[in-house]
Amino acid sequence: MSDVKTLATVWLDGCSGCHMSLLDMDERLIELSSRFRLVYSPLVDRKTFPEMVDVTLVEGAVASEDDLKKIRKIREHSRILVSLGDCALTGNVSAMRNMVGPLPVLERVYLENVDLQAQVPTVGVPALLDRVRPVHEVVPVDVFVPGCPPSADTIYQVLTELLAGRVPTLGGVAHFG
Amino acid sequence: MSAEANVRTLTIDGVDVSARSDQTILEAAREHKIAIPTLCQIEGLSSVGSCRLCLVEVKGARRLQPACVTRVEEGMEVATHSAKIDRYRTMILEMFFAERNHVCSVCVANGRCELQSLALTLGMTHVEIPYQYPQLPVDASHPRFTVDHNRCVLCTRCVRVCSEVEGANTWGVMGRGAQSLVITDLKEPWGASETCTSCGKCVQVCPTGALFEKNRAMSKARKHPEFLPYLRIMREGEQP
């Protein structure tokens, strides 16, 4: 079937709420599943990003070295990159540490008020960037979908427009927050 | 001078309109149901033209003009929308969002914020200008109200309502440019202000979540700026 497009979703620094909203499309997921093939996502098993994906939805801001590496690779291997939700678009809650930087936040969480083995984890976790950044500050983005999270209706509209070969603009349709 | 002599005729977006000579382009446009976006302007207070969102093109003028403080003139040709105006308005809006920390999802004004709705109506889906992330204070010293400078757009509605309607002159502005802050008295904590009457008018006219009432659930945080024109009319009626 040639009209089946491949779809990927990625989860950077966000709360997973955008993915919840994606699942919130309910029975429309069944309709979409015959037209999209989900090839990479926190919701499926595949561990490596495919060679080329038609549409990639990105949830979350770019907050760590790992996010940065991932998003650059994903951009290279995606035809259409969609910034999904306020964290990807604005940094949102993830970027609230930018007012003070990562160190005071790590110290607050892992050192202050900790009774046992207070230490900032460094093994097996990616280093935090000095500044959390919206996705479009790091790589070019094709579609911007505001919302915290964007509603299921909005996500459905975006996906069906992309299936029809149109690049949707959400200005005047979806708001921040 | 007769009443007719005070009437000016002009065109706004190609529509012939008439207005009193003391009216602004914004007032004339609104009377004819022509929408011009605004943020610092509010019905019932003086206009200062500080936010620049109401910029319009006036034929013959070299620069865009703020509709809220530009008087109508005979034969004026005004355009409220064009590619250039839309570009400027989006840019201005992006500057508002980038200048301070507007995090809609966790803001007390989420869903009831004029800045947030402007982003929606003007079709701004993201900000190209790098965010500044300034470190700004929150003053919760007043028993009933809080000022969160992270959400302030420096529209000065609070300053104007406090001076022009309440007559307390508690609010003022200090500093310059992006470093400006709205302050109570001589930058005393709001709770320690000797001039504040705790009337709450500033909270009601604030377009964002910068001024809000404490202990109010988000769903109850609706502001009521509509009292202003009413108050004005009533007071004018009292004058001898």
Q: Which residue among B107, B127, B135 sits closest to A90, beta carbon to beta carbon?
A: B127
**β pairing state of B211-213 and B145-148:** antiparallel
Q: How many residues does chain B have?
A: 240
**Whole-number Å distance between alpha carbons of B98 and B127:** 7
Residue A153 has pLDDT above 90, yes or no: yes
Q: Do A175 and B122 touch (CB under 8 A)?
A: no
Residue A134 CB contacts under 8 Å (≥ 6 apart), including other chains: A61, A62, A83, A88, A89, A90, A91, A95, B126, B127, B131
Å between B64 CA and nearest CA of chain A? 24
Q: What is the pLDDT of residue B223?
A: 84
C-alpha distance from residue A19 to each of A41, B133, B164 (Å): 10, 27, 49
**Whole-number Å distance between alpha carbons of A115 and B77:** 72
In which element (H, E) is residue A75 found?
helix A65-76
Is the minimum CB–CB distance between B103 and chain A shorter than 8 Å? yes
Q: Do A92 and B103 touch (CB under 8 A)?
A: yes
pLDDT band at A1 (very low <50, low <70, confident <90, very high): very low
pLDDT tens per residue, range B168-182: 999 999 999 999 999
Q: What is the pLDDT of residue B227?
A: 86
Q: Is residue A94 within 8 Å of A14, Cβ to Cβ?
A: yes
Q: Do A95 and B117 touch (CB under 8 A)?
A: no
For B147, list phi and psi in degrees, rounded to 5: -115, 125
More confident of the two residues B31 and B238: B31
pTM of the model: 0.93
Q: Do B125 and A96 touch (CB under 8 A)?
A: no
Number of A/B CB contacts below 8 angstroms equals: 73
Å between A172 CA and nearest CA of chain B? 5
pLDDT tens per residue, range A56-69: 999 999 999 999 99
Closest residue, chain B, to A175 (C-alpha): B120
